[in-house]
A = this chain, B = another copy of it.
C-alpha cells in the first residue's frame, strides 16, 4: 500500500456472514455513535445459501476512533456475529502490477485509466516475458521489468516475479493478456488478488483461440470476461463481462479487433471495481456492489 497525501478519507467495510439478524443495525449504530457519516450502505442477502453481504462506506472526518481502534472494534463485532470482514481506507491505495506479453491494448487502457485518475490504486509495475512493451510503460512513467520465462524452468521466472512483487509491495496482480500460466502455488498465495481477462464470454469457448472457436460455431455475439484467477483455468469467479454483436461478415481478424476492444474495457472495469472495494467473493461467484 502507498500512503497518499491527507484528504477527506473514507473507510470501507466489506462483510460476509451467515446470519444477519441485527447486523445492519449493529454496524450502522457503531458508525453513527462514533460520529461517522455513512456515504454508501449496500447489502445483499443470498436466499439460496442464507449468506449475507454488506458494503459500508463512511466519511472519516471527525470520526472519534483512530484506525487502530476501528480495527479493534471490528474484531469484537466480527467475533460476536461470526463475520468475514475486510476494512480499508481510501487514502491507503493498493499497489498494482500488470503482467503482459506482447499485446499492448489492455496495458494501454489500464495505464490511461491511471493517468486519468480513474483507478483507486497505483499501477507501479509492469512485468513481461517479452521486452516489447517497455516503451509503453516508460511513456506512462511506470517501472518495467522484462522477466523471460524459460519453458523448461518456469520456477526461475516465478521466483524473480515474487521477489519483484515483494520489493514493490504489490497487492494486486492483473494479467493483461499475459500468455503464461501461473503456478498453483503463485495463485494460492493470492486468493482474489489476481485478475485475468479471458477473450470470450465464459463459460463459452474456454481454452485457446476463442475467437477461432467463435467463428467456427457461428455465434452472433462475442464477449470478454474478467475473473479472479484460481487453480482451475478459466473457472474463477467472474467479476465483469461484456459483449458485442458480430456477423458472418466478420472474419477472425475482425473478431480479434472487436474482441480486443471488449477485452480492455472489461479488464479495466474489473480492476476499477476491485480497487473501489466493490467486489466480494462467495464460493465461485462474486457480489459486485454497483
* Residues of chain A having any CB pair with chain B under 8 Å: 20-22, 24-26, 28-29, 31-33, 37-48, 104-105, 108, 112, 115-116, 118, 135, 139, 201-205, 216-221, 223, 237-243, 247-249, 251, 257, 260-261, 265, 284-288, 290
Contacts and interface: CB of A to CB of B under 8 A. Distances in A.
A238 B204 CA distance: 14
B201 A202 contact: no
A204 to B, nearest CB: 4
A213 to B, nearest CB: 8
24 contacts: A20-B37, A21-B37, A22-B32, A25-B32, A28-B29, A40-B43, A41-B41, A41-B42, A44-B249, A47-B251, A48-B251, A104-B115, A104-B116, A116-B257, A135-B139, A201-B221, A202-B204, A203-B219, A204-B204, A218-B238, A219-B238, A220-B239, A221-B223, A290-B290
B243 A219 contact: no
Given A24-B41, A139-B135, A265-B261, A285 B220 contact: no
Contacts of A238: 217-220
Nearest to A58: B24
Among A41, A237, A240, find the residue whose CB has the most chain B CB atoms closer than 10 A.
A41
B240 A220 contact: yes
Nearest to A257: B118
Nearest to A289: B248
Contacts of A48: 251
Contacts of A261: 265
Nearest to A250: B290
Contacts of A249: 44, 290
A260 B268 CA distance: 14
Given A28-B28, A218-B237, A221-B241, 5 more contacts: A41-B42, A202-B217, A204-B204, A218-B284, A290-B290
A43 B284 CA distance: 28
Contacts of A41: 24, 41-43
A147 to B, nearest CB: 23
Q: Which of A25, A112, A205, A242 has the most CB of B within 10 A?
A: A25
B217 A242 contact: no
Nearest 6 interchain pairs by C-beta:
A218-B285, A25-B32, A204-B204, A25-B28, A220-B241, A139-B139
